[in-house]
Amino acid sequence: MVVNNYNGVSAIAYKERTKPKLLRIYEVLSNRMILSNEDHFYHLHLDKGFDGEYGLDGLTEPLSSYCLVLNDLQLEFRKSSFQVDTLLICTDIIRLYEVKNYEGVHTWADDKLLKSTGVYLENPWVQLQRTKVKLELLLQSLSCQMKVEAYVVYINPEFTLLEAKGDGNHLLPSQVPLHFRSLPMKETPSFEQRRLAERLLQLHNPDYPSHTKPVYCYEDLRKGISCPACGTVAEAFQGHFIKCQTCGERMNVKKAIKKNIEDFRLLFPDEKVTTNRMLDWCGSGDKDRIYRILRENYQPKGNAHGRYYV
């Protein structure tokens, strides 16, 4: 849960932002295998994008006293999926935000942006316009006639955009704080606003299939418990605490085992979680401790010889 303070008022989003499943998969894999160059850079891309979106939350969540803030929605209209970074449901208008964590000097070129290196990127405004149209059609299907305003937010303070159109829909880093401070927020969210927010949450699909999931198999992954600070995998454990050989972090073994069991379930959702498999996954250690942790935190299924945990 992210809690921020704006003018002395603490607030949280109606739908808080969580780290995307694909990013969490890449984080686990990066500690247990050598990623290909393509997967490595895609992991960095996902991580940077999440950092940018998370950075905007400090400005939007304090507005929750006056509007409903919904982060990271995965929606669909007529079998066409679209993703919303941030949505504000205000009294009489809906504000849609596309967050970009670009850095460096870029030049506006209508349907694309030109980096100083000579590389072209799709103009985020083009992407946002498609999202806005799909959202408007979805809202119409829900009998909602509220106007939608859309903005591209360039959140990185080291970003510069040359020759941009001055239509107010592109928020440069220096403009972002003032934009949110200037929003007219006077009334608390109404029943109608909450009903719309709940309907969008019902339509949100957190498990929308990704076509960019990396390829991996259990046999190729490094076994052991990973350090919560640097990710280094320790292949053996004993006692209640161990020290990371890379960064010196003092690890609570029980917490590390529980975390690594969840990592396994994330990577292999269709595989059975058994004591022997978790002993192998967490490295050389105490089988009885693995068994106790599974028994304390999960529901056993099956008989003694075929028992697994859910």
Tokens of 197: 């927010």
Tokens of 125: 């405004």
pLDDT of the residue at 304: 74
Instruction: For the chain, give every domain's residue range.
Output: 4-203, 221-309
pLDDT of the residue at 165: 76
Average pLDDT, integer, range 164-188: 87
* pLDDT tens by residue, 240-299: 898 898 999 999 999 999 999 999 999 999 999 999 999 999 988 888 999 999 999 999
CB 234 within 8 A of CB 259: no
- Cβ neighbors of 16 (< 8 A, separation 6 or more) are 1, 2, 71
Please state the pTM of the whole predicted model: 0.87
* pLDDT tens by residue, 21-49: 999 999 999 999 999 999 999 999 999 99
The beta strands (E) that lie in the chain are given as: 4-6, 9-11, 68-77, 80-89, 93-100, 104-109, 112-115, 120-122, 147-154, 159-162, 170-171, 225-226, 233-234, 241-243, 250-252, 300-301, 308-309
Q: Which of 213, 212, 196, 211 is nearest to 73 (CA)?
A: 196
- Least confident stretch, 70-74, 129-133, 248-252: 248-252
pLDDT of the residue at 302: 87
With cut-offs at 50, 70 and 90, classify the pLDDT of residue 1.
Answer: very low
Answer with the residue of higher pLDDT: 134 or 208: 134
Strand partners, 100: 154
The C-alpha angle 281, 285, 291, rounded to 5 degrees, equals: 75
With cut-offs at 50, 70 and 90, classify the pLDDT of residue 146.
Answer: very high
